[in-house]
Structure 1
Amino acid sequence: MKMKTSFFTIALLSLTISLSLPSLSLSQRCNKKDEKILFRIKKSFGNPDVLATWTRDTDCCSWYSVQCDEYTDRISALTIFSGNISGHITEAIGNLPYLETLILRKLTNLTGQIPSSITKLTSLKTLTISWTNLSGPIPSFLSQIKSLASLDLSYNSFTGAIPPELSTLPKLRTLRLDRNRLTGSIPESFGNFTGRVPAIYLSHNLLNGTLPQTLGQVNFTWLDLSRNRFFGDLSVFFGTNKTIKAANFSRNMFEFNFSNLNQFPESLSVLDLNHNRIYGSLPATLKELKLQTWNVSYNRLCGEIPAGGSLQKYDNTAYFHNRCLCGSPLPAC
């Protein structure tokens, strides 16, 4: 009987230890240096309720918006969406050396500027600071983060010119600077990206001037320049040797003879030119394209809409308010 009792006691003790081991392991996972930086970030954001799980009695790898690398247990991602956060981005953000993803989105009371210490994040691949009230110029020092593949600074209050140095980011795939208050023209350097030409979104700004001729030297895949104050000719973006898939040039002041554009890349599926000053007629070669989005309304076009292809699948709203366009889906010529 005594032997059975001892065996039961040992088994119970073993079970208790085994159950406690995961908790012990978990409590040791969080790197203390990273934890310290996260607390500084929380303080700079005003200790908001959305970060209520960030406490000393829990493992920081289990905190809301925090992700640790499974091999190093260092902070690899910080993604904070929507929350009553008031404050600024602390310089301490640069002391998370293993950070690959930083997303701060829909934090409308987040103010100030992007700290220069962010250049210390040499592993950063995704940087999204969107829907905030950050202001001031877009810092050129972002070009020092050579690991960046995605840079999204949309829906903020940034002002000033686009830093030409951004074209030196060798791994950049997406550049979003739309919905700010940027001024000036597109940098000449955007015609000479160090790496592959990224998808570029510059819409809803105060950008102006003619487009640099250097842009004709590169092949864009996705380009959105809508709702700015650009003018001039768009011919440099088209031709059978181009690979552009989607282009939105709407609501600018572009002015050129559309009749002179006879060659379009087969890849082109989105073309929006509405609200410009484009004149001439629609080239017959447009009907060869498989257009998923198409709009030339509010221009100065004339002549018959080429019959066939994708051009008749759109209703009259894609064509109306031109000087003298005619033919289906508009009234006959």
Structure 2
Amino acid sequence: MDTRPFLIFTLLFSTINIHSSHSELCHPQDKKVLLQIKQAFNNPYVLTSWDPQSDCCKWYFLKCDGTTHRINSLTISGGLSGEIPPQIGDLPYLQTLVLIKHENLRGPIPPTLTKLKNLTYLTISWTNVSGPVPQFLSQLKTLLSLDLSFNSLAGPVPHSLSQLPNLNSLHLERNKLTGPIPDSFGEFRGDDFYLYLSHNQLSGKIPASLGKKDFAAVDLSRNELEGDASFLFGTRKTTRGVDLSRNYLEFDLWKVEFPRSLRWLDLNHNKITGSIPVGLTELKLQKLNVSYNRLCGKIPVGGELQRFGYSAYFENWCLCGAPLVKSC
């Protein structure tokens, strides 16, 4: 009996199997961890593509590094519930971690994230994650951006976050944070820094140390802050936006020198006194609101100031001139 066809078939089948096994790019350890994460989330529908029989570099929400074939990005929007599993810390090559719009995601941020020594972008936003903003996040020295906005985080803002040497964007807005803004927040080293702490319950004075930092944008609105904030401005700065609205801030607006780069300024619902500086007419403002304060005097004419309309100026003590109806 001629056995050659059988041998040829056997060799061909073995070759196909060997080629198939070697064609999978995903690192086996990463694949194991991802399947553990899927199980920890109770095998949600959104992770259906995470099939153990397929290459995890081709699964949805993931990106593999083209050289090492290790998972370097995990971005999932919607569909997860339960707590963030600690196994996420076992993806050592992860550079981007984004969990956004998961209303049924709850519990604390796991400390195993400190094992992600290559992480540059961390976003956990629009969830019901609770507990404090963890102190241990200051161990993620490679972070460029930290976004924990729109959650249920409570307690103080950790001063240790200023120890992140490369951070240039911090979003903690729309949580339940209390206490003062840390004095150390004037020590952030990242250039073009964006600081967003709005819609919390922060109280006390804005630390004067923040005046040392040239922020790209600052949003401290809708808190319980008081006292001076004029040091956030200055002609030598390159700040593009400042929102201090709905606090209890008190300073003389007339004495403030604004950066020429300023494009939006919102100071409404405070206790700000003085009059509107003529220097604002020289700025290319796209947004301005100084309503509900204690301003007096004539609104300067020129630039963009009359374009913003009545609502940008009303409910002040004795402010007058266009676009207000009250003449001077």
TM-score range, shorter chain: over 0.9
Match of 2:4 in 1: none
Match of residue 263 from structure 2 = 269
1:4 is matched with: none
Report the CA distance shift for 1:151/1:30 in structure 2 as closer, same or farther (over 3 A).
same
| Matched letter for residue 301 of structure 1 | L
How far apart in 1 are the matches of 2:321 and 2:104? 52
Q: Match of 2:34, as an amino acid?
A: L
| 1:165-176 equivalent positions in 2, closer than 5 A | 165-176=160-171
Alignment partner of 1:46 is 2:42: yes
1:288 maps to what in 2?
A: 282
Question: Is the 8 Å Cα contact of residues 62 and 74 (structure 2) preserved in structure 1?
Answer: yes
**Correspondence for 1:110 among 91, 105, 112:** 105
Q: Secondary structure at the match of 2:242?
A: strand
Verify: 1:308 aligned to 2:302, yes or no.
yes
Deviation by residue 1:260-283 (Cα, 9 ceiling, x = unmatched) = 22x211111111001111112111
1:196 CA displacement: 3.1
Does the 8 Å contact 1:197/1:218 carry over to 2? no
Q: Which residue of the other structure, out of 74, 98, 104, is the alignment partner of 1:78?
A: 74
Question: What's the CA shift for 1:18?
Answer: 11
- Give the equivalent residue in structure 2 for 1:99: 94
Aligned to 1:254: 249
Percentage identity across paired residues of the two chains: 54
Distance (Å, rounded) in 2 between the aligned partners of 1:40 and 1:17: 31
Deviation at 1:222, TM superposition (A): 0.5
Inter-CA distance 231–22: structure 2 relative to 1 (3 Å threshold): farther
| Amino acid corresponding to residue 114 of structure 1 in structure 2 | I
- Of the three residues 289, 293, 297, the one matched with 1:299 is 293
d(CA) in 1 for partners of 2:151, 2:245: 21
Residue identity matched to 2:85: T
Within a 5 Å distance, the mapping from 1:1-333 to structure 2 comes to 25-26=22-23, 28-83=24-79, 85-196=80-191, 198-261=193-256, 263-331=257-325, 332-333=327-328
Q: Give yes or no for contact 2:35–2:52 (8 Å, CA) kept in 1.
A: no
Q: Distance in 2 between matches of 1:284 and 1:216?
A: 22
Mean alpha-carbon deviation: is it higher for 88-97 or for 180-189? 88-97
Equivalent position SS for 1:280:
coil
Take 1:303 and 1:23, find their aligned partners in 2: how far apart are those partners? 79
Q: Closer, same or farther in 2 for the Cα pair 1:21/1:33, shift >3 Å?
A: closer
What is the CA–CA distance in structure 2 between the aligned matches of 1:317 and 1:121, rounded to whole Å? Answer: 48
Counterpart residue type for residue 109 of structure 2: I
Measured in 2, the distance between the counterparts of 1:20 and 1:297 equals 72
Q: Structure 1 CA distance, aligned partners of 2:72 and 2:236?
A: 41
- Coordinate RMSD, CA, aligned: 2.0
**What is the distance in 2 between the residues matched to 1:203 and 1:194?**
21
1:25 Cα deviation after fit: 4.6
- 2:17 and 2:294 map into 1 onto residues whose CA distance is 76
Q: Is the 8 A contact 2:291 2:311 kept in 1?
A: yes
Q: Secondary structure at the match of 2:211?
A: helix
Separation in 2, partners of 1:230, 1:277: 11
1:243 is displaced (CA, Å) by 2.0
Q: State TM-score, norm by structure 1.
A: 0.91
1:192 offset after TM fit, Å?
Answer: 1.4
TM-score by length of 2: 0.92
**Long gaps (5+) in structure 1:** 1-9
Q: Alpha-carbon deviation of 1:234?
A: 1.3
The alpha carbon displacement at 1:195 in A equals 3.6
* Structure 2 stretches lacking a partner, 5+ long: 1-7
Distance in 1 (CA, whole Å) between partners of 2:216 and 2:127 is: 28
Q: Distance in 1 between matches of 2:16 and 2:321?
A: 77
**Matched residues in 2 for 1:229 and 1:245: separation?**
23
Give, in whole Å, the separation in 2 of the partners of 1:239 and 1:178: 25
Tell me which amino acid in the other structure corresponds to 2:55.
D
Number of residue pairs aligned between Structure 1 and Structure 2:
318
